[in-house]
Amino acid sequence: HVQLVESGGGSVQAGGSLTLSCVASGWSMKTQCMGWFRQAPGKEREGVAAIASDGTATYADSVKGRFTISRDNAKNSLYLQMNSLQPEDTGMYYCAAHRPNSGVGWLDFRGYMYWGQGTQVTVS
């Protein structure tokens, strides 16, 4: 039974920081590209950052220079360090595992096969 569990969300003031964590169980993430997505009310889910098994990372333009994605395969865990948070960063944040050979980009939610339940981030 594959499970992804996010934590670390919360409410912060603009300019603040948060670190999100995602722990996977029931399956090893070490060979998978992993990603973070977010969804604000009334908006489509958008890719924030993704990281390949070799550590290569890609970011949405809106978060470049502010967010850092990382992984610890030994702990089967994924992280997102978020700095200089802005109100537009508000949303539910999800971690997800990329489907091999999906044919879509790493920041496209259609290419992901396993999803967590999300953790809420609110920036005011």
pLDDT in tens, 37-64: 999 989 999 999 999 999 999 999 999 9
What pLDDT band is residue 106 in, cutting at 50, 70 and 90?
very high
Pairwise CA distance, residues 110 & 35, whole Å: 12
Q: What is the pLDDT of residue 73?
A: 95
Q: What is the pLDDT of residue 71?
A: 98
Percentage of the residues of the chain whose pLDDT score is greater than 90: 94
Mean pLDDT throughout 28-42? 95
Pairwise CA distance, residues 73 & 71, whole Å: 6
**Amino acid letter, residue 49:** A
**pLDDT tens digits for range 56-86:** 999 999 999 999 999 999 999 999 999 999 9
